[in-house]
Structure 1
Amino acid sequence: MFVTLFKIRSYQDLQVLEAIIHRLVSIIKQQMARAEKIVYGFHNKVTLLISLSSADHISSITKLLDSIIKEWNRKDGPPLSAGIGNSYYGVENIRKSYDEAGKALSYLTEQNRPGMIRYGEIGLNRFFLNQKPEEIERFLNEIFSPLWSHKAKKNELEKTLLVYTNSNRSAIQAAEKLHIHINTLYQRLKKIEEALNLSFNNTEDMLKIELACHLKRTFNA
């Protein structure tokens, strides 16, 4: 069994919201008529519990859920997001799947993104879901603000650092993506080390940099 949580991300009138949730529940029941399920709506969310006879059916079910959400958003309905928990055996694990679905949904909410995501797909980001946005912002400012004040073109060093880490620290790939000579890249990397008072050859320094760049690309995009 596994749980999927749907969320209407914006609404103005509670009576209209009630009608929207009722319509969403009806669509889910109609599209998934053959599935063993429990589905109900409350406020701006719909909870769906699905029981499968085989784990092999998970892929087809998630594809169907994805098509429901895409069709809903395509028809200019209120933006809809959904989080999917992992599948487990036994009713005692329903709560676990429910909590995972909630965390996946929270991730999309933080990203301000419609669509669907499975808990397993958020990867490392699951560790930051309970962090306050201002704490993440403060950490990013501590890392990147020295690059903003450097005597260089606006955001030039920041962009270089993001591209470099996203290229698995391959100088050749990073230089190609930035459309600069590789010697220019090495000069920028040296400036970044000096501005941040760290070394790319230090494991702890690189862990901090990799984490900051990851958060910059996801939570602070």
Structure 2
Amino acid sequence: MEQSTTNLSNSQFLAQNSLQLLEALAGESGLQHIVELGYAMFGNPVLLIDTSLKTIAFSNTEVKDDPVWNEYVTSGYASLSSVNYYTSNKLTLLVNQSEVPFFWTDPYSKYPRIMSKVVIGGKQIALLSIIAHEKPFQNTDLELAILLSKAIAIELQKNKFIHYSRGVMHENFIEELLTGKTKDGKIIQERIKVLNIRFSKNLYTLALDISRFDNSKTSLAYLRNELENQIPKSKAVIYEDKIVLIISYDDHDQFYKSEINKLKMFLKTYHIYAGMSRCFHNLEEVQEHYFQSLDALRLGMLLNEEDYFHPYEEYAIYHFAESSGVENLRKNCHPSLWKLIEYDGENNTDYTRSLYTFIIHSKNITESAKASNIHRNTMFYRLEKIESIMNIDINNSNTFLHLHLSFKILELLKIDLP
């Protein structure tokens, strides 16, 4: 009789907590609220970490005398020594193999734990730990851990990053680099060791615009995986309507020879535009070069829609030109260039185009004449006439640079040459 009463009491307790979790999920209260509910359910602190061993959430509780808890709460991730310890004593293996929550004790952690995987679509996304800091575990706690893990899985599926995640350890780390949350060199090196990621000395960020991608034929996850196959030394993540890759190679020239052509074909096949940053060498600079890749992508799509691949190096001068503000672009053009454009319009000549040809051929008279399909002497005459109309010395280095920049501004403003 007493056993039946106990079973009924346990069932009621579990049903009551199930209802609370269901109400929290329906009420859009958020992950932290669910974690705090977990604390109330167990009467013990709750910790949630992702598969990269980074802290996702924890209950608002002080556990000053437990080193593992404090490590996750203070630094936000596991140290290399902790990772090595739990790998050597088989906890990592046990978590991977276990389908249900289990009790765990070890000398490194002061208090016993319940360890429970959080699984989405058959893949582990996170690990839930309950710490017996305030009271010993009860008979129902393993069943409660199952309920809480399922509720957390449902909540995490609302998060777009988790939705696209493969449960691969590097993805959260890359997101931190992209957002600039992690910029400390020492922390980055520690995380690289923990995650066992290797980067070569030459780094690039590549951003692909997927805002208009038709995923009715091919999934974004498949596309991302294919990109990593196309560029073997890369790590990819789906982030803010982009697929973003951090690419690393020892040899810059070899990368361009072996991979860029394959990448261009890939982009053309799927009709996707991409921007790539300049080469850099420190992971602390990922966010800065991610912004470079976005600028290259934006300017490339504006100025050259026929190409799908846009390296920042080809658009840096345009980026510089617009840095003073779009409203000032026209003012930054060389004033005499407008005079030449006006002259061509009134006299049905094409001196502006001749000047542009001369500039893009780096003041090479022979190549400029050839590109214009005129005699070399005719090119000389045109340049003298241009100097007369504009009242400038084309060979002055500052004037030449200003004119070059001015033509780039015309491209940005979508002003066609006469």
TM-score (norm 1): 0.70
> Of 337, 345, 355, which residue of structure 2 is paired with 1:161?
355
Residue 127 of structure 1 corresponds to: 320
Alignment-derived partner of residue 37 in structure 1: 235
Q: 1:86 to 1:179 in 2, by over 3 A?
A: closer
Which segment drifts farther, 63-72 or 20-29? Answer: 20-29
Instruction: Give 1:219 deviation, angstroms.
Output: 6.5
Alignment CA distance shift 1:200-1:118 (3 Å)? closer
Q: CA deviation at 1:22?
A: 7.5
- The SS at the match of 1:162 is helix
Report sequence identity in percent: 19
1:104 is aligned to 2:296: yes
Deviation at 1:100, TM superposition (A): 2.3
How many residues in Structure 1 have an aligned counterpart in Structure 2?
206
User: SS of 1:5's equivalent?
Assistant: strand
Match of 2:365 among 159, 171, 174: 171
Is the 1:86–1:97 contact (alpha carbons within 8 Å) kept by the matching residues of 2? yes
How far off is 1:118 after superposition? 2.5
When residues 22 and 72 of structure 1 are mapped into structure 2, their CA distance, relative to the original with a 3 A threshold, is: closer
Pair 1:5–1:196, CA change in 2 (3 A): same
- Per-residue CA deviations over 1:149-188 (Å, capped at 9, x if unaligned) read 3276434111221122233323344334334444443343
Q: Which residue of 2 aligns with 1:76?
A: none
For the pair shown, the structure with the greater C-alpha radius of gyration is 2
> Structure 1: how far apart are the matches of 2:279 and 2:342?
49
Higher RCO (C-alpha under 8 Å, 6+ residues apart)? 1
CA distance in 1, matches of 2:278, 2:400: 32
The correspondence for 1:47, drawn from 220, 234, 244, is 244
The TM-score normalised by the length of structure 2 is 0.41
1:27 aligns with 2:229: no
For the residues of structure 2 that align with 1:20 and 1:161, how far apart are their CA atoms? 49
* Contact 2:318/2:408 (8 A) holds in 1: no
2:39 aligned residue = none
Q: 1:188 to 1:101 in 2, by over 3 A?
A: same
Is the Cα contact below 8 Å between 1:25 and 1:39 reproduced in 2? no
| Distance across 2 between alignment mates of 1:163 and 1:41 | 41
Structure 1 regions of 5+ residues with no counterpart? 12-16, 74-79
Describe the shift of the 1:40–1:21 C-alpha distance in structure 2 as closer, same or farther (beyond 3 A).
farther
> What letter corresponds to residue 67 of structure 1 in structure 2?
M
Aligned partner of 2:269 in structure 1 is 71
Residue-by-residue CA offset, 1:27-68 (whole Å, 9 max, x unaligned): 22135246552321434x222334x4x524744444443232
Q: RMSD of the TM alignment (CA)?
A: 3.5
Separation in 2, partners of 1:32, 1:148: 48
Aligned to 1:190: 384
CA contact (8 A) 2:333 2:405 kept: no
From the superposition, tell whether residues 128 and 61 of structure 1 become closer, same or farther in structure 2 (CA, over 3 Å): same
Letter in 2 for 1:30: E
Instruction: Provide the C-alpha distance between the structure 2 equivalents of 1:21 and 1:117, rounded to a whole number of angstroms.
Output: 25
Q: Secondary structure at the match of 2:323?
A: coil
> 2:357, 2:323 → 1: CA distance?
27
2:315 aligns to what SS in structure 1? Answer: helix
What amino acid is aligned across from residue 245 of structure 2 in structure 1?
L
Kept after mapping to 2: 8 A contact 1:143/1:212: no
- Tell me how far apart the structure 1 counterparts of residues 204 and 371 of structure 2 sit (CA, whole Å): 41
1:145 lines up with 2:338 in the alignment: yes
CA displacement at 1:105 relative to structure 2? 1.6
| Contact 1:165-1:213 within 8 A present in 2 as well | no
CA distance in 1, matches of 2:283, 2:332: 40
8 Å CA contact retained: 1:25, 1:46: no
- Gaps (5+ residues) in structure 2? 1-202
Q: Aligned with 1:150: secondary structure?
A: helix
Distance 1:200 1:94, change over 3 A: closer
Instruction: Give SS of 1:40's match.
Output: strand
CA distance in 1, matches of 2:331, 2:410: 12
Any residues of structure 2 matched to 1:4-23 within 5 Å, and which? 4-8=206-210, 11=212, 19=215, 23=219
Any conservation in 1 of the 2:317–2:405 contact (CA below 8 Å)? no
Indicate how the Cα distance of structure 1 residues 4 and 128 shifts in structure 2: closer, same or farther if over 3 A, else same: same
Q: Distance in 1 between matches of 2:375 and 2:278?
A: 46
Q: 8 Å contact 1:106–1:129 — kept in the other structure?
A: no
Contact conserved, 1:22 with 1:41, CA < 8 A, in 2?
no
Residue 134 of structure 2 aligns with which residue? none
